[in-house]
Amino acid sequence: MKRLATIILLLLPLSVHAEGNRYAILVGINEYDHAKLPKLDYAMNDAAKMAELLKKHGYEVTLLTDKSGKEPTKKNIEAALEDVLGKYKKNDTIVLGYAGHGLQFGKDCYFCPRDAKPFPDETKTLVSLTEVYSKLEKAFDGVKLMLIDACRDDGGRGIRGGSNDAPLPPKGIGVLMSCSDGEKASESEELKHGVFFYHVIKGLEGEAKNKKNVVTWDSLRAYVKDEVPGAMSKLFKDQRRQNPNEVGNLSGTSPVLLNGWVSLFNGNDLTGWKMPDKPSDEVASVSKIVLDGKLVGYDGKLLDNTTIALWRIRNGMLVGTGARHHLFSDRDDYSNFHFLIEAKINDGGNLGNSGQFFRAKFGTNFLAGYEAQIYLGNAGPLTGSLFPARGTRLGEYRNEIVVNTPLHKRDEWFTQEVIAIDNHLIIKVNGKTTVDWKDPHRHFTKGHFALQVIGSATEVIFKRVEVLELK
């Protein structure tokens, strides 16, 4: 099937762990209100998969598709862009992705929202590429990158990579088109995506990593330009051609698009997390809370048959309460990494108690694994400590691994980072190193991540749970 679609990504390079925030606005439209704009098959897939990927890598995502709850109308698309551009600062990242029909009238190109009227005298119903360029040019300093997949196959004109009369991007905006002049872009039933955008996604998933193990604009551009032509010859037997073409206006160091950090909590559900059926000698059993097919929480039944909340999602954050239990990552092979949480914990009558476990064994009660403590009580190691767990020899090194001075306040957001490379363990709280120690006994070498709740008085809230795996 021929591809009538537009995919745009606008990126100002920045790591959330370096200088600023990252935002994404992703639009995918399969069906339009006007009969002159034929139905597409996989535009929503392109936007939805990109949203899933970028959210996993720490982007704050706004998704507008036929099924996302936010309608992809002109008003909503432009409002979403204005909202993000109004709040991002210098060195923040903005990603705008559009999957749908594209048009060209005169020397301007347009992206079609769902309520578009595709006529030269109705351009007020379309989203102008020139206006998008202008808004980006006025934005704060940064590099803007666009990937555009928009080729008409009904005799009209689309946004073509080699068109001499299409608007050129201002200085500082890099553009990669899905095809060159005289070509059409295609969708693939086998891939369930547009061929161009499928390879953009594969590149961002890691296929386009460079020697430094990150995906940059240069490495992604090279990957997509290399892979799409070959994929076309394998997917289609009619000798159609599609050669991505760069028409950007960039100079200087190639920006990093994805730096390897992965969000382990997506803000919507508990994908990637699990609990044992009987998590401790205080909780006899657990039950899953499922909404629209997604796991969104856990309840626990105590020994007296009382049911209590264990984990909930509240305003995009992960909330743990109740008796002793742990929430485990699905994966059990984390070995060397930089593991970061942003959290806050309540007073709980001086009993609010939690922990950030790593290299842990899936189990119940008191876990086999390292724990970066989260606690502000009067007794015991405080936040920033490597907890000297029972059954280990860690207690012999209390002077090197235990923190006795509070480094944050109750009900106050703080960050805690764990950097584990072989037996070298580092813990930081709000950027301050609290533990820098090599475990001579190498107690634990790989395992799960786990988030702990201790005691019925505890309420701990996690805003971010992220990992950067290290070699």
Q: Which residues contact 229 (CB under 8 A, 6 or more apart)?
A: 241, 242, 243
Give the span between the Cα atoms of 100 and 32, in whole angstroms. 9
Instruction: Give per-residue pLDDT as tens, 282-320.
Output: 999 999 999 999 999 999 999 999 999 999 999 999 999
| HEC profile of 278-291 | CCCCCEEEEEEEEE
Instruction: Kindly report the length of the chain.
Output: 471
Structure pTM?
A: 0.71
Alpha helices by DSSP H, listed for 93-138, are 129-138
Burial of 153 (0-12, 13-18, 19+ CB in 10 A): middle
Give the span between the Cα atoms of 258 and 216, in whole angstroms. 7
Weakly modelled stretches of the chain, pLDDT under 50: 1-18, 152-158, 160-162
* pLDDT of the residue at 255: 78
Which of 327, 346, 348, 347 lies closest to 283, judged by CA?
Answer: 327
Which of 289, 218, 281, 204 lies closest to 252, judged by CA?
Answer: 218
Task: Work out whether the CA dihedral 322, 325, 330, 336 comes out positive or negative.
Answer: positive
Give the span between the Cα atoms of 471 and 469, in whole angstroms. 7
Q: Which residue has the tokens 């694994």?
A: 369
* pLDDT of the residue at 224: 95
DSSP secondary-structure letter at 361? P
* pLDDT of the residue at 157: 32
392-416 burial string, b = 16+ CB within 10 Å, else e?
bebeebeeebbbeeebbeeeeebbb
Query: Helix, strand or coil for residue 127?
Result: strand
Lay out the sheet containing 60-65: strands in order across: 60-65, 22-28, 93-99
Instruction: Give per-residue pLDDT as tens, 389-422.
Output: 989 999 999 999 999 999 999 999 999 999 999 9
Q: Give the type of residue at 3.
A: R
* pLDDT of the residue at 112: 92
User: Going from the N-terminus, what domains does the chain have, and what CATH number goes with each?
Assistant: 2-262 (3.40.50.1460), 273-469 (2.60.120.560)
Asked if 78 and 37 count as a contact pair (C-beta separation under 8 A), the reply is no
Q: Give the type of residue at 32.
A: Y
* pLDDT of the residue at 381: 94
Helix, strand and coil content of the chain, in percent to the nearest 5, comes to 20, 35, 50
